[in-house]
């Protein structure tokens, strides 16, 4: 019973549409729930901007990338209109009894604040970075890893043909999960992640030893990686809507440094948003669908202030207070294990 508003906030992510579909189908079939879609994330919530969302609208969307609702990095409290009273008034006008927020850490932190301000809200964790501590995996990560792995494979053929060192920069703001998985799958000779600074001498030693064996070095670096003399991750593109520096460009910094120190011609490729786009993998569609079904059940139980999470093979419920602000880093042991065979 009831009518609920679904929103997608933060960066888009493969599998968002599967969550939306899973929620609507479960809600209509099992719980007699109705839905509307808030347009462009929290912007839609603050301005009361919605689209109809029922079984006919979500038909066949699991295989589509992006989000049919649109998204933004718009914080609900950043504009003068973003007050709990205003949001509640729009909800009342639209007949919305509660909000389902699908997003990453910034979105969940905002959802927690809305909940503390008396707005019934639940969450679904999303990010290709896979860096939310409360869940074993986020949907979108699997697709991003497949895309990044394909990029490693493709760059290797150019590296081999030209006898070059190839540097691939992937996303990963706080945690290097995409770099670790794609680098390992693609047999990279060095993987550089935010959790573990490495110095240039060490990186060049790995690169040189690969060349000495007659191979072409492949380096995978996460956007949040820092060299020891850097205070913070490289950013030259200003701030995003959640007031975080927009990262990117560390690959372009590393490539000339490696070339200068080793004498090996080196090229950088920034994979960027290609990692977030296109058709979601089967795994992400399944996880997204399961999350969507579980969040509909959660709303039916009026279990507000919580987020669905994957723990092992099961979907569980986690309070926002436990879920927000805890980054899931690549464990040092896991990195050390990978590092042992670099070079």
Residue 22 near ligand F6P by CB under 6 A: no
Neighbours of 304 (CB within 10 A): 18
The answer to whether 71 and 273 are in contact (CB under 8 A) is no
104 belongs to an annotated ligand binding site: yes
Which of 167, 171, 188, 218: binder of ligand F6P (CB under 6 A)? 171
Which of 65, 104, 120, 159: binder of ligand F6P (CB under 6 A)? 104
What distance, in Å, lies between the first and last C-alpha atoms of the chain? 59
3-state SS class at 52: strand
Q: What amino acid positions are annotated as catalytic residues?
A: 129
275 belongs to an annotated ligand binding site: yes
Which of 43, 73, 90, 164: binder of ligand F6P (CB under 6 A)? 73
User: Which residue, 11 or 48, is less far from ligand F6P as judged by CB?
Assistant: 11
Residue 72 near ligand F6P by CB under 6 A: no
User: Which residue, 249 or 343, is less far from ligand F6P as judged by CB?
Assistant: 249
Residue 11 near ligand F6P by CB under 6 A: yes
Full 3-state SS string of 163-207 = CCEEEEEECCCCCCHHHHHHHHHCCCCEEEECCECCCHHHHHHHH
Residue 246 near ligand F6P by CB under 6 A: yes
Neighbours of 273 (CB within 10 A): 10
- Closest by CA to 247, choosing from 255, 239, 235, is 235
- Closest-by-Cβ residue to ligand F6P is 171
- Minimum Å gap between C-beta 134 and ligand F6P is 16
User: Which residue, 112 or 216, is less far from ligand F6P as judged by CB?
Assistant: 112
Segment lying near ligand F6P (by CB under 6 A), choices 126-134, 184-192, 286-294, 332-340: 126-134
Residues 6+ apart with CB under 8 A from 33: 1, 2, 3, 4, 27, 296, 299, 300
Count each helix (H run) and each strand (E run) in the chain, helices first.
Answer: 11, 11
- Minimum Å gap between C-beta 102 and ligand F6P is 13
Pull the structure tokens for residue 199.
């110095």
Which residue is it, tokens 């999303």? 126
What is the total count of residues that contact ligand F6P (CB under 6 A)?
Answer: 13
Which of 25, 110, 147, 247: binder of ligand F6P (CB under 6 A)? 247
- Long-range contact pairs involving 79-85 (C-beta distance under 8 Å, separation at least 24): 79/46, 81/46, 81/47, 82/42, 82/46, 84/114, 84/117, 84/118, 84/119
Residue 128 near ligand F6P by CB under 6 A: yes
Which of 38, 71, 129, 149: binder of ligand F6P (CB under 6 A)? 129
User: Which residue, 213 or 237, is less far from ligand F6P as judged by CB?
Assistant: 237
- Minimum Å gap between C-beta 171 and ligand F6P is 3
Segment lying near ligand F6P (by CB under 6 A), choices 55-63, 157-165, 239-247, 321-329: 239-247
The bridge status of strand 98-103 relative to strand 190-192 is unpaired
Please give the angle made by the CA atoms of 323, 68 and 8, to the nearest 5 degrees.
Answer: 20
For the annotated binding site for Mg(2+), the residues are 105
For the annotated binding site for ATP, the residues are 11, 73-74, 104-107
Per CB under 6 A, residues contacting ligand F6P are 11, 73, 104, 127-129, 171-173, 223, 240, 246-247
């Amino acid at each position: 019973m009831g009518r609920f508003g679904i929103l997608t906030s933060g960066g888009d992510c493969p599998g968002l549409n599967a969550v939306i579909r899973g929620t609507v189908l479960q809600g209509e079939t099992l719980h007699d729930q109705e839905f509307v879609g808030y347009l462009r994330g929290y912007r839609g919530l603050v301005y009361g901007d919605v689209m109809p969302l029922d079984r006919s609208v979500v038909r066949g969307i699991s295989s589509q990338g992006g989000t049919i609702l649109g998204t933004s990095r718009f914080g609900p409290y950043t504009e003068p209109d973003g007050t709990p009273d205003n949001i509640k008034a729009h909800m009342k006008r639209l007949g919305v009894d509660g909000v389902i927020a699908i997003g990453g850490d910034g979105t969940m932190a905002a959802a927690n604040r809305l909940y503390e301000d008396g707005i019934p809200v639940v969450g679904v964790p999303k990010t290709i970075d896979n860096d939310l501590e409360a869940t074993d995996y986020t949907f979108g990560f699997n697709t991003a890893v497949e895309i990044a792995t394909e990029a490693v494979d493709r760059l290797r053929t150019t590296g081999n043909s030209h006898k070059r060192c190839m540097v691939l920069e992937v996303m990963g703001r706080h945690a290097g999960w995409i770099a670790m998985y794609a680098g390992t799958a693609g047999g990279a000779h060095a993987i550089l992640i935010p959790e573990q600074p490495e110095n240039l001498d060490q990186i060049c030693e790995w690169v040189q030893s690969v060349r000495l064996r007659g191979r072409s070095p492949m380096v995978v670096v996460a956007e949040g990686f820092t060299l020891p003399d850097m205070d913070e991750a490289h950013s030259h593109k200003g701030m995003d809507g959640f007031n975080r520096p927009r990262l990117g460009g560390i690959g372009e910094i590393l490539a000339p440094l490696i070339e200068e120190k080793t004498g090996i011609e080196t090229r950088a490729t920034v994979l960027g948003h290609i990692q977030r786009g296109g058709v979601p993998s089967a795994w992400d569609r399944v996880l997204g669908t399961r999350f969507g079904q579980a969040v509909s059940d959660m709303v039916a139980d009026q279990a507000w202030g919580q987020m669905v999470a994957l723990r092992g093979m099961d979907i569980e419920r986690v309070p926002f207070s436990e879920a927000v602000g805890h980054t899931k880093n690549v464990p040092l042991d896991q990195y050390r294990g990978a590092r042992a065979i670099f070079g």
